[in-house]
Structure 1
Amino acid sequence: MVENSNAPLIEFKHVSKTFKGTATTKEVHAVHDVSISVDRGEIFGVIGYSGAGKSTLIRMINGLETPTEGSVKVDNQDITQLKKEPLAQLRHKIGMIFQNYNLLKTATIYQNITIPLKLEKIPKDEIQQRAEKYLKIVGLWDRRNSYPSQLSGGQSQRVAVARALAHEPTILLSDEATSALDPETTSSILDLLKDINQKLGLTIFIITHELDVVKSICDKVAIMEAGNVVEQGRTIDVFTGPKQEVTRQFLGSNDLAGVPASLLAETQKHNHVLLIKFIGNEASIPVIAQLTKQFGVEPNIMAGSIEYLKEQPYGKLVISIENNDQYDAEIQYLRDKGVIVEEVG
Structure 2
Amino acid sequence: MIEFKNVSKTFRGQQKNQHVRAVENVSFKVADGEIYGVMGYSGAGKSTLIRMINGLEKPTDGDVIVDGESVADLSKKELLQLRRKIGMIFQSYNLLVTATVAQNIILPLTLEGLDKTEAEQRAEKYLKIVDLWDKRDSYPAQLSGGQRQRVAVARALAHEPKILLSDEATSALDPETTESILSLLLKINQELGITIFLITHEMNVIQRVCDRVAVLDAGVIAEEGPVVDVFTQPKQGITRKFAGVSDTLGVPRDILKPYAEKHRLISLQFVGQTANEPLLAQVQDKFDVTPDILAGSMGYMKREPYGRLLVYLKADQQDQFDGALEFIRSQDVHVEEVEI
* TM range, smaller chain: over 0.9
Query: Could you state the TM-score of these two structures normalised by the residue count of structure 2?
Result: 0.95
TM-score (normalizing by structure 1) = 0.94
**Residue 104 in structure 1 maps to residue 92 in structure 2:** no
DSSP-derived class of the 1:268 partner:
helix
2:227 and 2:333 mapped to 1: Cα distance?
18
Deviation at 1:110?
Answer: 1.4
Whole-angstrom CA distance in 2 between matches of 1:107 and 1:316: 48
Equivalent of residue 308 in structure 1, options 277, 300, 313: 300
Aligned-pair distance for 1:323?
5.3
Deviation by residue 1:276-297 (Cα, 9 ceiling, x = unmatched): 2111100111111111111111
Question: Does the alignment pair 1:92 with 2:84?
Answer: yes
CA positional deviation for 1:22: 3.4
Shift of 1:269: 2.8
Q: Which runs of 4+ in 1 moved over 6 A?
A: none
**d(CA) in 2 for partners of 1:339 and 1:158?**
39
| Alignment-mate amino acid for residue 219 of structure 1 | D
Conserved? CA contact 2:130–2:150, under 8 Å: yes
Tell me which residue corresponds to 2:323.
329
Cα deviation 1:92-113 (Å, max 9, x = unaligned): 0000001111111111211111
Match of 2:189 in 1: 197
1:167-316 matched pairs, under 5 angstroms: 167-316=159-308
Alpha-carbon RMSD across the aligned residues, in angstroms, is 1.5
* Offset from partner CA, 1:177-216 (integer Å, 9 cap, x none): 1111111111111111111111100100111111111111
Cα pair 2:289 2:316 within 8 Å, conserved: no
Q: Structure 1 residues 16, 329: closer, same or farther in 2, change over 3 A?
A: same
Q: 1:180 to 1:263 in 2, by over 3 A?
A: closer
Give the superposition deviation at 1:254.
2.5
- Quote the Cα distance in structure 1 between the aligned partners of 2:144 and 2:309: 40
Aligned letter for 1:161? Answer: V
Q: Secondary structure at the match of 2:107?
A: helix
Q: Distance in 2 between matches of 1:300 and 1:228?
A: 41
In the alignment, the residues of structure 1 paired with residue 240 and residue 328 of structure 2 have an alpha-carbon distance, to the nearest angstrom, of 25
Residue equivalent to 1:21: 13
Are 1:175 and 1:208, in contact at CA under 8 Å, matched by a contact in 2?
yes
> Do 2:213 and 2:227's aligned partners in 1 also have CA atoms closer than 8 Å?
yes
Do the aligned partners of 1:272 and 1:323 also contact (CA within 8 Å) in 2? Answer: no
Query: For this pair of structures, how many residues does the alignment match?
Result: 337
Displacement of 1:243 after TM fit? 0.9
| Distance across 1 between alignment mates of 2:184 and 2:293 | 38
Shift of residue 24, structure 1, vs aligned partner: 6.5
What is the SS of the residue equivalent to 2:96?
Answer: coil
Structure 2's unaligned 5+ residue stretches are: none
Asked if 2 retains the 8 angstrom alpha-carbon contact of 1:270 and 1:323, the reply is: no
Deviations 1:95-148 (A, max 9, x none): 000111111111121111111111111122221211111111111122212211
Per mean C-alpha deviation after superposition, the further-off stretch among 114-123 and 62-71 is: 114-123
Please name the residue that 1:342 is paired with: 336
